[in-house]
Amino acid sequence: MVRTQIVMFDGVEELDALAPLEVLGCAATLGHEIEAGLVTLSPGRVVARYGTEVEVDRVLSPADADVVIVPGGGYANRAPRGTWAQIQQGTLPAVLRDAVRPGLTLASVCSGTMLLAAAGLTEGRPCTTHRTARDDLIAAGGQWIEARVVDDGDLVSCGGVTSGLDLALWLLERHLGPAAACDVERFLEYERRGTVWRSA
């Protein structure tokens, strides 16, 4: 069983978080050995970027996960809620930094990569993020790759917003094989697009 946690916080981009949940939840419904759920630092109501309210009762627990997915939202415009605010607060980057261990994959959607950068986890590593954060990612030491999904082993990142669909499908393929990913693609009537860049 592949255990996946998707991190929620106030100001998170709805599609960044819910697209991977849709893909991985669909895979579980179709009988594949994967589970996915929303988690947060403190249980309670999360208000996403466009006002969607989600009650999250599970606490982020990387020790109990095989994959942790970090969405973005609210970075480019320095919003008072979202990725930028989480970086300024520092708590979530610290938790992500401390989470690193053998067997855990940290994945990011859109500007969620900047939370990993704030944790010091992208320095010198191939990765990608939303185009509006490209220069900041490079300034933080990340090795920018022009690809929709970038797989560098225990660090997997993707571009902006809709790329989260492709990230989740790639994680599904990587962990459970191409047949599982194709099952979900057919069910969702979605065709993957762009490049998955993989480190040697």
Q: Are 30 and 177 in contact (CB under 8 A)?
A: no
Which residues are within 8 A (CB) of 36 and not within 5 positions of it... i.e. 6 or more apart? 4, 5, 6, 20, 21, 24, 25, 28
- Determine the Cα–Cα distance for residues 80 and 14; give it in Å rounded to an integer: 16
Helix, coil or strand: residue 67: strand
pLDDT value of position 200: 79
Strand-pair category, 143-144 with 53-56:
unpaired
- Burial pattern 84-93, b for ≥16 Cβ within 10 A else e, equals bbbbeeeebb
pLDDT value of position 127: 98
Q: Are 8 and 56 in contact (CB under 8 A)?
A: yes
- Give 60's DSSP letter: P
CATH class of 2-198: alpha beta
- pLDDT tens by residue, the chain, 200 residues: 999 999 999 999 999 999 999 999 999 999 999 999 999 999 999 999 999 999 999 999 999 999 999 999 999 999 999 999 999 999 999 999 999 999 999 999 999 999 999 999 999 999 999 999 999 999 999 999 999 999 999 999 999 999 999 999 999 999 999 999 999 999 999 999 999 999 97
Cα 188–194–200 angle (5° rounding)?
115
- Determine the Cα–Cα distance for residues 48 and 16; give it in Å rounded to an integer: 10
CB atoms < 10 A from the CB of 54, how many? Answer: 16
**Residue appearing with tokens 């990913």:** 181
Domain locations along the chain: 2-198
pLDDT value of position 66: 98
Question: Identity (one letter) of the amino acid at 28?
Answer: A
- Determine the Cα–Cα distance for residues 179 and 175; give it in Å rounded to an integer: 11
